[in-house]
Amino acid sequence: MPEAKSKAAVVIRDLHSLDDLRKVETLEQEVWGLSDRDVLPLTMSVAAKEAGSIWLGAFEGSRLVGFAFGFLGMEDGQVMVHSHMLAVRDEYRDLDLGYKLKLAQRERALSMRVHSMTWTFDPLQSRNAHLNFGKLGVISDRYKIDFYGPETSSVLHRNSTDRLWVKWPLSSRRVQERLQGKDRRAELLDVLSRLLPLIRFNGDGKPARTDLDAALTRQRIAIEIPSDIVSIEQKNSALAHEWRDATRWAFTEALKAGFFVAEFCRTVRGKQGPGAYLLERGKLEEFVPDINHHLAVVR
Ligand SMILES: CC(C)(COP(=O)(O)OP(=O)(O)OC[C@H]1O[C@@H](n2cnc3c(N)ncnc32)[C@H](O)[C@@H]1OP(=O)(O)O)[C@@H](O)C(=O)NCCC(=O)NCCS
């Protein structure tokens, strides 16, 4: 397996050819461990590309090391891009490639005059949570239970397929500031240190539930998750299921009561410690007033 050299050697570009799209199939199988049946069919990829979908690849030489695929969709009557897949080969992770692929997707969407992007991710995946909320500035008010069914052939879909449906308001001030690298970590840690989490990462690595009624009377709620759910799934699937049940309960109850997910802060206690979501009471539109920026552009 080639060593990841440096991020400078990796180029991000649109995927054009059949050969490019075939390379995606291999990467899908490598990253998700999908069966042949669950890989996106090549004919579908070609048609989607031709019909205006955004296909991007990260290449080291001719080797595809990451990709992003997003198609056009409608949400609340407005055109948006739904990013269906983002993947980076294991040995190329944490080099900002996921981030750069998202930035390229954003540019492509804006050039199509689309100002909103959505996608889903497993809220137990701490790395994804940090990339999505921390680095990109998404927000979410939807939790989907078993989005792709109870399981698929993917190794990443064994502990059910619950997903947060996130929204990335591409032209909003929030996102622009986030992309300028404005660091809110100190402020977030301060807020989180004063909250009793609704789900707390206990000393024994288990999720502990605290009082729901008390949490729902507050302005903010914290939900903690472990820093590495993948290794928990491998070592102790019962514990991974416990985390799923607990966080599913906390997110669904809080969202039902009028909260939304505003932030994620990694490692809130010590280096290998848990991360925490911060939920705020209210509506996304109040928190991000220019969330529907595209309406102003269209009119
Ligand atoms: C999600 C994925 C695309 C991210 O790619 P990537 O190239 O590693 O992303 P980046 O390097 O831009 O960002 C990763 C960030 O997470 C951080 N990180 C790494 N491990 C972490 C952890 N356990 N908890 C929190 N943050 C973590 C990195 O330090 C980095 O942040 P930083 O730049 O602030 O230091 C990649 O992990 C992947 O392919 N995962 C499997 C498929 C998947 O989940 N796809 C997305 C849903 S469809």
In whole angstroms, how far apart are CA 159 and each of 31, 139, 143, 199, 229?
16, 24, 16, 18, 10
This prediction's pTM: 0.95
Ligand 1: list residues with CB < 6 Å. 31, 85-88, 93-99, 121, 125-128, 130-131, 135, 227-228, 266, 275
What is the structure's pLDDT at 296? Answer: 44
Give 296 Cα–ligand 1 centroid separation in angstroms. 33
Q: Is-contact 165 122, C-beta < 8 A?
A: no
Q: Going by CA atoms, what residue is nearest to atom 14 of ligand 1? A: 94
pLDDT in tens, 165-208: 999 999 999 999 999 988 888 999 999 999 999 999 998 899 99
Q: What percent of the chain has pLDDT over 70?
A: 95
Pocket mutation for ligand 1, best pick of 82, 88, 127 (most atoms within 8 Å of C-beta): 127
Give 206 Cα–ligand 1 centroid separation in angstroms. 23
Give 78 Cα–ligand 1 centroid separation in angstroms. 29
pLDDT in tens, 89-144: 999 999 999 999 999 999 999 999 999 999 999 999 999 999 999 999 999 999 99
pLDDT in tens, 39-81: 999 999 999 999 999 999 999 999 999 999 999 999 999 999 9
Pocket mutation for ligand 1, best pick of 81, 88, 233, 263 (most atoms within 8 Å of C-beta): 88
Domains in the chain (CATH in brackets) are 1-114 (3.40.630.30), 120-299 (no CATH)
What is the structure's pLDDT at 272? Answer: 76
pLDDT of 265 > 70? The answer is yes
Give 131 Cα–ligand 1 centroid separation in angstroms. 6
What is the structure's pLDDT at 88? Answer: 98
87 CA: nearest ligand 1 atom: 39
Q: Is-contact 170 117, C-beta < 8 A?
A: yes
pLDDT of 5 > 80? The answer is no
Give 220 Cα–ligand 1 centroid separation in angstroms. 26
Question: Rounded to whole angstroms, how far apart are CA atoms 256 and 235?
Answer: 33
238 Cβ neighbours under 8 A, 6+ residues apart = none
Give 257 Cα–ligand 1 centroid separation in angstroms. 30
Cα 140–Cα 141–Cα 144 angle in degrees, nearest 5: 95
The more confidently predicted of residues 41 and 150 is 41
